[in-house]
């Protein structure tokens, strides 16, 4: 079944992530009984910015192949995405109490995230070499085509050879129809049906990462290829063609690719191909940095610079820690002290240089146990929009095992109470484990975000599970028998009462030690007086409620 929280994301009201006033409250009398809360339909009981962030480039130019980042206030990169069709989708889970930004590294454009939903960006066009945001020099001469100078070298082959090294320092062409290449300040053009290949050869360093880009315009796109040459001018290490497609306005580019030179590299030859009334307006070759592990991703962009199998990391939550506080008597309400089981989770997904998911490493901490029942701790993996299309777990290593009853599930502890007593993992109990993804999932479905659903189940009744609102039970759960029984109202969404009350509260914070569990039989509203304003406002007010407790009514862990 589908987790609902991301399905609801598109309809959420934008939530500000600016630092709130901790004393901000909503009008009305203070309540001390959780059952008296008046909750908006669809409230997800998550203290976070949560859901899909759809970023659309809206400046009249294509930026396909460039990257967008999510960063924090200090500039730390939290997520990276490649722009495709001038569009990027981020799935975010962020603390509300900090500032986060969408960042376009090629131009330095930064925009604060004010919530989930659709955001438009208009980066400045970066094809002018004098742009103040440009931090890396274009290695090509006349890359912006301001000069009409061309070397006619017909009939040399445009893919290289020792003779090509005689023409370093500018553009040359092998076109027999060289006189038909037209120049205006800012571009070269050739009319249909003619075609011509421009080339330029520049000195290169071995084992170094480079980025090539092309802007173009006209009726057709401009393919751009690169060839790596050794000191004798012979091709080594292969090459790659790019094709610059156009934005609807007819303005194209840039299309870009990052590549790493082999140890024998001495030169790089770039070749844009003009045909059919297309014209190139800007071509760029930029040295990025060394690539220590040789995976094609420069050290400056590689989250694992010394690991050739991994290149990019994406965290869950996007920043900070996830804390889940459980009531364990579902489908009955319980006492709403939210201290029966409290866990924190932090995880990271590793991807290779082609953005194929490799593995996912978790650190789960059982920070509090106030339950009279014995519970197991488990996890299911979902996509951002529901069940995963294939089995994703190839193997599990560390402090967990693959769930034999759920192909996409993991058993973290069969009895957390016993773990606490035996102190097998220390106290609080910390479980660290890694899931390796199946080849089928990595090769064919790596574009799908992986979202963990941490839940508890009763040791004496494996089928009796308690989940966050928005998730359904696993394949062995008895939720179908217990929906709409006791205090549960399945027609109001899974794991909610008729009035919208939950069995689990989620908190996303920078520190995993922020939440202090209320003392036994102490209502959450009495332990955290600002909780009411947060809950009844749909999470828009009192966003630091968990930092404002009544000392004598919480456990000071």
115-169 pLDDT tens trace? 999 999 988 755 443 333 444 678 998 887 888 777 765 444 444 555 567 666 7
Looking at residue 441, its pLDDT comes to: 97
How does residue 319 score in pLDDT terms, banded at 50, 70 and 90? very high
Cα distance between residue 549 and residue 524, in whole Å: 10
Give the confidence band of 220 by pLDDT, cuts at 50, 70, 90.
low
Q: Give Cβ neighbours of residue 461 (< 8 Å, ≥ 6 apart).
A: 478
Enumerate the β-bridge partners of residue 224: 242, 272
Q: From residue 317, give the alpha-carbon distance in Å to each of 79, 163, 410, 469.
A: 11, 55, 19, 17
Same domain, 399 and 336: yes
Q: What residues contact residue 179 under an 8 Å CB cut-off, 6+ apart? A: none
* 324 vs 159, higher pLDDT: 324
Cα gap 228→329, rounded to integer Å: 65
Q: HEC states along 467-535? A: CCCCCCCCCCCCHHHHCCCCCECHHHCCCEECCCCECEEEEEECCCCCCCCECCCCCHHHHCCCHHHHH
Q: Burial code of 259-298, b = ≥16 C-beta within 10 A, e = fewer?
A: bbbeeebbbbbbbbbbbeebbbbbbbbbbbbbbebebbbb
pLDDT at site 150: 76
The reported pLDDT for the residue numbered 124 is: 74
Domain final residue pick, 254, 274, 290: 290
Question: pLDDT tens digits for 227-285?
Answer: 898 888 888 877 777 665 543 334 555 677 778 888 999 999 888 887 776 777 788 89
Q: Are residues 102 and 27 in the same domain?
A: no
Quick check: bond before 524 cis, omega within 30?
no
Q: Report residue 3's pLDDT band, with 50, 70 and 90 as the boundaries.
A: low
Judgement on whether residues 416 and 448 belong to the same structural domain of the protein: yes
pLDDT, residue 371, reads: 87
Q: Are residues 274 and 412 in the same domain?
A: no
Domain boundary among 76, 106, 121: 121
Let me know if residue 311 belongs to a domain: no
What is the pLDDT confidence band of residue 86, given thresholds at 50, 70 and 90?
confident
Q: Which of 343, 389, 350, 387 is nearest to 369 (CA)?
A: 343
What is the C-alpha separation between 12 and 532, in angstroms, rounded? 20
Which backbone phi and psi does 132 adopt, to 5 degrees? Answer: -70, -20
279 occurs within a structural domain = yes
Give the rounded distance of the alpha carbon of 265 from its chain centre.
34
pLDDT of residue 436: 98
Q: Is residue 135 part of a domain?
A: no
308 assigned to some structural domain: no
The answer to whether the bond into 360 is cis (omega within 30° of 0) is no
Residue 8 has pLDDT above 70, yes or no: no
489 lies in the same domain as 348: yes
Residue 307 covered by a domain: no
> Using alpha carbons only, how large is the chain's radius of gyration in Å?
28
Nearest by Cα to 537 from 95, 92, 20, 114 = 20
Q: What's the domain count of the chain?
A: 3
The residue with greater pLDDT, 155 or 63, is: 63
pLDDT higher than threshold 70 for residue 349: yes
Same domain, 329 and 436: yes
Is there a single domain that holds both residue 189 and residue 92? no
pLDDT(193) > 80: no
pLDDT of res. 243: 64
pLDDT of residue 75: 92
CATH value at residue 268: 2.60.120.260
Based on the fold, state whether residues 408 and 482 are members of the same structural domain: yes
CB within 8 Å of 226: residues ≥ 6 apart: 212, 239, 240, 257, 259, 268, 269, 270, 271, 285
Confirm if 194 and 177 have CB atoms less than 8 A apart.
Answer: yes
Mean pLDDT of 287-311: 85
Q: Is the pLDDT confidence value at 218 over 90?
A: no
pLDDT at 391: 96
156 lies in a domain?
yes
Average pLDDT, the chain: 83
What's the confidence (pLDDT) of residue 393? 98
Q: Is residue 306 a part of any domain in this protein? A: no
Task: State yes or no: pLDDT of 76 exceeds 80.
Answer: yes
Per the domain annotation, does 302 fall within a domain?
A: no
Distance CA 70, CA 152 (A): 46
Tokens representing residue 159 in the block: 């893919």
Q: What's the full length of the chain, in residues?
A: 557
The per-residue pLDDT for 22 is 43
The 10s digit of each residue's pLDDT in 463-503 is: 899 999 988 888 888 766 777 788 888 655 678 898 999 99
Mean pLDDT along residues 448-468: 94
Q: Please state the rounded mean pLDDT for residues 221-226.
A: 82
Domain that holds residue 226: 151-290
CB–CB of 228/238 below 8 Å? yes
- At residue 301, the pLDDT reads 80
Domain boundary among 290, 306, 340: 290
What span, in angstroms and rounded, lies between the C-alpha atoms of 190 and 274? 6
Report helix, strand or coil for 384: coil
Where is average pLDDT lowest: 310-324, 332-346, 464-478?
464-478
């Amino acid at each position: 079944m589908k987790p609902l929280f991301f399905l609801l994301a598109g309809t959420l009201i934008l939530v500000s992530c600016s630092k709130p006033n901790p004393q901000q409250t909503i009008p009305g009398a203070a309540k001390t009984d959780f059952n008296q809360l008046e909750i908006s339909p669809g409230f997800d009981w998550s203290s976070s910015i949560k859901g899909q962030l759809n970023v659309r480039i809206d400046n009249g130019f294509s930026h396909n192949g460039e990257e967008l980042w999510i960063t924090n206030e200090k500039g730390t990169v939290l997520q990276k995405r490649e722009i495709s069709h001038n569009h990027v989708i981020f799935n975010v889970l962020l603390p509300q109490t900090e500032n986060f930004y969408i960042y376009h590294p090629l131009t330095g454009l930064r925009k604060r995230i004010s919530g989930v939903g659709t955001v438009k960006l208009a980066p400045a066009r970066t094809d002018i070499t004098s742009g103040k945001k440009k931090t890396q020099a274009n290695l090509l001469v006349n890359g912006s085509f301001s000069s009409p100078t061309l070397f006619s070298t017909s009939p040399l082959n445009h893919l290289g050879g020792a003779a090509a090294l005689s023409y370093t320092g500018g553009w040359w062409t092998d076109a027999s129809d060289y006189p038909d290449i037209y120049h205006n300040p800012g571009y070269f053009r050739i009319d249909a049906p003619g075609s011509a290949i421009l080339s330029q050869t520049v000195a290169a360093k071995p084992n170094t990462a480079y980025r090539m880009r092309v802007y173009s315009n006209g009726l057709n796109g401009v393919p751009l290829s690169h060839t790596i040459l050794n000191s004798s001018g012979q091709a080594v290490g292969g090459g790659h063609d790019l094709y610059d497609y156009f934005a609807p306005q007819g303005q194209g580019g840039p299309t870009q690719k990052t590549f790493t030179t082999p140890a024998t590299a001495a030169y790089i030859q770039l070749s844009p191909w003009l045909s059919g009334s297309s014209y190139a307006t800007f071509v760029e070759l930029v040295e990025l940095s060394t690539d220590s592990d040789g995976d094609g991703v420069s050290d400056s962009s590689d989250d694992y610079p010394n690991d050739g199998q991994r290149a990019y990391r994406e965290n869950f939550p996007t920043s900070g820690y996830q804390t889940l506080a459980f009531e364990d008597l579902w489908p009955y309400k319980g006492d709403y002290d939210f201290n029966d089981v409290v866990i924190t989770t932090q995880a990271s997904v590793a991807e290779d240089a082609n953005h194929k998911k490799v593995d996912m490493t978790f650190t789960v901490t059982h920070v509090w146990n106030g339950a009279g029942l014995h519970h197991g701790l488990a996890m299911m993996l979902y996509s951002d929009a529901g069940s995963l299309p294939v089995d994703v777990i190839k193997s599990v290593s560390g402090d967990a095992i693959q769930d034999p009853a759920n192909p996409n599930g993991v058993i973290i502890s069969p009895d957390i109470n016993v773990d606490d007593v035996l102190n097998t993992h220390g106290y609080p109990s910390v479980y660290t484990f890694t899931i390796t993804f199946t080849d089928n999932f990595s090769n064919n479905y790596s574009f799908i975000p992986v979202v963990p659903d941490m839940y508890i189940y009763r040791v004496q009744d494996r089928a009796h599970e308690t989940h966050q609102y928005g998730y359904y039970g696993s394949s062995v759960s008895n939720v179908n028998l217990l929906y709409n029984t006791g205090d549960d109202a399945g027609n109001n969404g899974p794991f909610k009462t008729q009035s919208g009350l939950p069995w689990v509260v989620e908190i996303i914070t920078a520190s995993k030690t922020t939440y202090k569990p209320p003392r036994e039989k102490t209502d959450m509203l009495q332990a955290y007086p600002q909780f009411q304003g947060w809950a009844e406002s749909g999470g828009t007010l009192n966003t630091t409620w968990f930092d404002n407790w009544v000392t004598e009514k919480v456990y000071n862990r």
